[in-house]
Amino acid sequence: MEKIRIGIVVSEFNYDITMMMLQRATEYANFLSVDVHKVFRVPGTFDMPLAIKKLLKMDDIDGVVTLGAVIKGETDHHKVIMDNAARKITDLSLEYEKPVALGISGSGESRLQAEARIEMAKDAVESCVKMVKSLRSL
């Protein structure tokens, strides 16, 4: 079977958390013998859709993993960020017929909850890989 090649889009907002997520994701991809072909860093979760679209357009990318942490602040801004990102991520996956795994924790979580969810990055890689394999078998 042809090797699976993924892209990862990671938010730099909440850098201490998201860079640990990126480390877990790349380590797990290596464990699964998946090629992390491109890593695209964006300022925040809201900025992800354009980067995802650029990756999905590439012939050498089979799927995309998104990584971020949307932590609740003093307002409901986190809801706007997460709702719009999740909706657009789904839309892009359908438009390009390639999986885009949601590895963004939140919304409404505290910093402690975000730290506890760093390992979610591995789940997002696994989800993307399973979808690529399923789609290839059709």
Q: Tens digits of per-residue pLDDT, 17-65?
A: 999 999 999 999 999 999 999 999 999 999 999 999 999 999 999 999 9
Name the catalytic one among 30, 50, 60, 77: 77
Would residue 77 show up in a list of annotated catalytic residues for this protein?
yes
Summarize pLDDT for 124-134 with one digit per residue, the tens: 999 999 999 99
Match 């986190």 to its residue by tokens. 78
Using an 8 Å Cβ cutoff, are 55 and 101 in contact?
Answer: no
Give the DSSP per-residue string, 102-119: EEEEEEEE-HHHHHHTTT
Percent of the chain predicted with pLDDT > 90: 90
pLDDT given for residue 49 in this prediction: 97
- Per the DSSP assignment, residues forming a β-bridge with 117 are none
Please check the confidence at residue 73 and state whether its pLDDT lies above 90.
no
Q: What is the DSSP letter of 32?
A: T
Which pLDDT score, from 0 to 100, does residue 99 have? 98
Q: What per-residue confidence (pLDDT) applies to 128?
A: 98
**Residues 69-96, mean pLDDT to the nearest whole number:** 92
Which of 17, 133, 135 is CA-nearest to residue 71?
A: 17
DSSP 8-state secondary structure symbol assigned to residue 74: S
- 1 has a pLDDT exceeding 70: no
Strand partners, 63: 6
